[in-house]
């Protein structure tokens, strides 16, 4: 495929304000194949579509969108014809493409080196290092100390929403491609859809047709794509802080002993690189007020589960299952469902947990492989957004001690008691990690110190 398609060309990007909102779309070409993905930021009373800097932000959105289309044939050269890139920016994009596609390379059995996998050219505009540029002026209606909170429908974004809301912060949910769980979580938090910032993103159907014909497919760094969309959303809304809900387990590799990480674009490394891309004078574009960070970064999955267990109004509406997302259900047969069940099990009594998930997942022996992956007895962790092996094993030990002192569910019967099963972490302790202010860390610390029922 690389011989058949030697170049992938980013030809143009577009944006216009319509009655529906701000529409953006892109022109990509790969040989005789063209792609035109598009997105719409829906019109809301709290958005200003005339802020400065939209042009550059849309260009960068095209740079992250193209990775989903490039991967179907992996052309050795990406040619950018519609915007300027410094040498530092090229290095940023190549690092993101490489690490963000680590799982894609691994699962497709592609052997390639970081140096050889991709050359990026900006032939019509000189690739240069620049001394920096003046910051893009912020919106005239900037709202200090306010937060955009991307809502994915799972437990993590619920915890971010609730802790910031209860601390008296001004928050605005952001939902990309609304579905049942995301809409319901916003509603429970007190936000009808006309108070939610909504982005609707469409994949060009040509890509799906190529995948059906046998062109390559696989995981792309969705969270990195979301990052660039939230930067534009921040500018349009005048809300400077984007509070993600990624925690520290996102930094752990999925394939043991390698750098392959399903959650790379949720890692602190990517977060720091992206913050630098948006603000550093090493780049020729700055957006000085934009603050992108993960509010839950100092927490473990166990701490997040503990906090979520308190917010009972969400227990029947949240969903974390990718398999069942279109139907807004827990499929009950995947590693993501099993992990969510396990991590909540120390804090929610078994009968209620079974009601939420539709069954006792730890009694389902068809999930033996997924269970072994989660507890570290397989070559890889599941290629899903799940916690660390240590967190899973700690959750199982805590669950057994609280609910099953004399008997065990089917999947736990052959699990040996080992030191790390008894070595619980203090759920009151925060990791010294992330880009939080002292006040934000204090909000987390107070929540973790509060006694659970």
In a domain, 151, yes or no: yes
- Residue 279: what pLDDT? 77
pLDDT band at 386 (very low <50, low <70, confident <90, very high): confident
Q: Report the run of H or E that residue 270 belongs to, with start and end.
A: helix 268-279
User: Does residue 134 belong to any structural domain of this protein?
Assistant: no
Q: Are residues 257 and 306 in the same domain?
A: no
Residue 384 has pLDDT above 90, yes or no: no
Question: How many Cβ atoms are within 10 Å of 129's Cβ, its own excluded?
Answer: 11
Check if the beta carbon of residue 371 is closer than 8 Å to that of residue 410: no
Q: Retrieve residue 260's tokens.
A: 């392959």
Domain identity same for 20 and 120: yes
Q: What span, in angstroms and rounded, lies between the C-alpha atoms of 331 and 320?
A: 10
Contact status, residue 323 vs residue 384, Cβ threshold 8 Å: no
Instruction: Please indicate, yes or no, whether residues 209 and 239 belong to a single structural domain of this protein.
Output: yes
Q: Is residue 401 part of a domain?
A: yes
The residue out of 257, 276, 294 marking a domain boundary is 294
- Of the pLDDT bands very low, low, confident and very high (cuts 50, 70, 90), residue 262 is low
Domain identity same for 84 and 231: yes
Tell whether 404 is covered by a domain.
yes
Q: Which range is least confidently modeled, 4-8, 102-106, 136-140, 283-287?
A: 283-287
Q: Does residue 385 have a pLDDT over 90?
A: no
Banded pLDDT at 453 (limits 50, 70, 90):
low
Q: Has residue 133 been placed in a domain? A: no
Mean pLDDT across 85-91:
87
Query: Distance of CA 32 to CAs 27, 122, 415, Å?
Result: 13, 21, 55
Residue 288 lies in a domain: yes
- Rounded distance between C-alpha atoms, residue 207 and residue 316, angstroms: 35
The C-alpha atoms of residue 92 and residue 422 are separated, in whole angstroms, by 42
For residue 354, pLDDT over 50 is answered with yes
Please give the helix or strand (H or E) that residue 202 lies within, else none. strand 197-202
Please state the rounded mean pLDDT for residues 383-400: 87
Mean local confidence (pLDDT), 257-263: 68
Do 274 and 155 lie in one domain? The reply is yes
- Domain range spanning residue 34? 7-125+144-294
Give residue-wise pLDDT tens across range 11-35: 999 999 999 999 999 999 999 999 9
Same domain membership, residue 308 and residue 235: no
| Percentage of the chain exceeding pLDDT 70 | 88
Separation between Cα atoms, residue 441 and residue 431, nearest integer Å:
10
Judged against a pLDDT cut of 80, whether residue 439 lies above it is answered with: yes
Residue 267 is classified by DSSP as: S
Position 284 scores a pLDDT of 43
Whether 330 and 401 map to the same domain: the answer is yes
Would you say residue 206 lies in a domain? yes
Beta bridge partners of 13: 26
Give me the chain's average pLDDT, please: 88
Give yes or no for a contact between 230 and 64, defined as CB atoms under 8 angstroms apart. no
Bridge-based pairing state of the strands 197-202 and 38-42: antiparallel
For the question of whether the overall pTM of this predicted structure is more than 0.75, the answer is yes
User: Rounded CA gap, 170 and 147, in Å?
Assistant: 6
In this prediction, residue 133 has a pLDDT band, given cuts at 50, 70 and 90, of very low
With cut-offs at 50, 70 and 90, classify the pLDDT of residue 51.
Answer: confident
The contacts found for 263-268 with CB under 8 angstroms, 24 or more apart, are: 263/223, 263/385, 264/99, 264/100, 264/102, 264/221, 265/96, 265/100, 265/221, 265/222, 265/223, 265/224, 265/225, 265/227, 266/223, 266/294, 266/385, 268/294, 268/297, 268/433, 268/434
Contacts of 24 (CB under 8 A, 6+ apart): 13, 14, 15, 38, 39, 40, 41, 58, 61
Predicted confidence (pLDDT) at residue 154 exceeds the cutoff of 50: yes
Q: From CA 449, how far away is CA 434, in angstroms rounded? A: 19
**What is the reported pLDDT for 138?**
53
Q: Are residues 290 and 318 in the same domain?
A: no
Higher-scoring residue by pLDDT: 130, 108: 108
* pLDDT for the residue numbered 422: 47
Check whether residue 186 and residue 68 sit in a common domain: yes
**Are both 267 and 379 inside the same structural domain?**
no
Give the residue from 261, 294, 327 where a domain finishes.
Answer: 294
Instruction: Give the pLDDT band (50/70/90) at residue 258.
Output: low
pLDDT of res. 425: 62
Q: How many domains would you assign to the chain?
A: 2
- Rounded average pLDDT over 99-128: 77
Q: 285 with 384, same domain?
A: no
pLDDT band at 287 (very low <50, low <70, confident <90, very high): low
Examine the pLDDT at 437 and tell me if it is beyond 90. Answer: yes
Please spell the DSSP secondary structure of 369-402, one letter per residue: HHHHHHTT-SSB--SSS---HHHHHHHHHHHHHH
Percentage of the chain lying above the pLDDT 90 cut = 61
Tell me if 379 sits within 8 A of 255, measured CB to CB. yes
> Is the pLDDT at 360 greater than 90, yes or no?
yes
Residues 313 and 245 in one domain: no
Q: Which of 63-77, 110-124, 250-264 has the highest mean pLDDT?
A: 63-77
The pLDDT of residue 52 is 78
Domain limit, last residue, from 294, 323, 355: 294
User: Is 132 domain-assigned?
Assistant: no
């Amino acid at each position: 495929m690389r011989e058949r398609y030697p170049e992938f060309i980013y030809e143009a990007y577009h944006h216009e304000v319509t009655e529906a909102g701000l529409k953006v779309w892109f022109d990509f070409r790969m040989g005789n194949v063209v792609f035109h993905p598009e997105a719409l930021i829906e019109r809301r009373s709290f958005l200003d579509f005339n802020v400065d800097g939209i042009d550059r932000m849309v260009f960068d959105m095209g740079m992250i969108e193209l990775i989903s289309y490039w991967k179907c044939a992996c052309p050795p050269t990406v040619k950018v014809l519609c915007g300027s890139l410094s040498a530092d920016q090229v290095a940023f994009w190549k690092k993101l493409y490489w690490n963000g596609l680590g799982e894609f390379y691994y699962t497709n059995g592609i052997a390639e080196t970081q140096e050889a996998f991709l050359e990026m050219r900006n032939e019509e505009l000189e690739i240069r290092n620049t001394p920096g540029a003046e910051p893009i002026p912020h919106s005239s209606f900037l709202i200090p100390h306010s937060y955009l909170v991307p809502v994915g429908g799972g437990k993590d974004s619920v915890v971010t929403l609730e802790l910031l809301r209860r601390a008296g912060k001004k928050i605005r949910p952001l939902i990309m491609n609304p579905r049942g769980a995301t809409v319901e979580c916003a509603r429970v938090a007190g936000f009808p859809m006309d108070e939610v910032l909504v982005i609707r993103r469409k994949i060009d159907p040509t890509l799906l047709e190529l995948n059906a014909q046998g062109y390559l497919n696989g995981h792309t760094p969705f969270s990195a794509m979301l990052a660039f969309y939230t930067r534009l959303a921040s500018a349009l809304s005048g809300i400077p802080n984007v509070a993600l809900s990624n925690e520290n387990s996102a930094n752990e590799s999925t394939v043991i002993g390698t750098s392959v990480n399903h959650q790379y674009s949720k890692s602190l490394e990517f977060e720091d690189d992206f913050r630098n891309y948006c603000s550093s004078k090493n780049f020729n574009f700055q957006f000085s007020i934009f603050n992108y960070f993960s509010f839950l970064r100092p927490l473990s999955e166990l701490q997040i589960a503990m906090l979520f267990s308190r917010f009972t109004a969400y227990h029947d509406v949240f969903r974390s299952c990718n398999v069942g997302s279109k139907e807004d259900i827990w499929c009950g047969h995947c590693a993501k469902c099993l992990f969510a069940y396990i991590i909540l099990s120390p804090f929610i009594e078994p009968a209620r947990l079974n009601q939420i998930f539709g069954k006792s997942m730890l009694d389902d022996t068809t999930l033996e492989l997924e269970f072994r992956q989660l507890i570290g007895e397989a070559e890889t962790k599941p290629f899903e957004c799940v916690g660390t092996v240590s967190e899973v094993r700690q959750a199982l030990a805590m669950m057994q001690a609280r609910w099953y002192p004399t008997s065990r569910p089917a999947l736990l019967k052959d699990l040996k008691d080992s030191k790390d099963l008894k070595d619980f972490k203090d759920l009151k302790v925060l990791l010294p990690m992330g880009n939080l202010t002292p006040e934000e860390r204090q909000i987390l610390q107070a929540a973790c110190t509060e006694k659970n029922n």
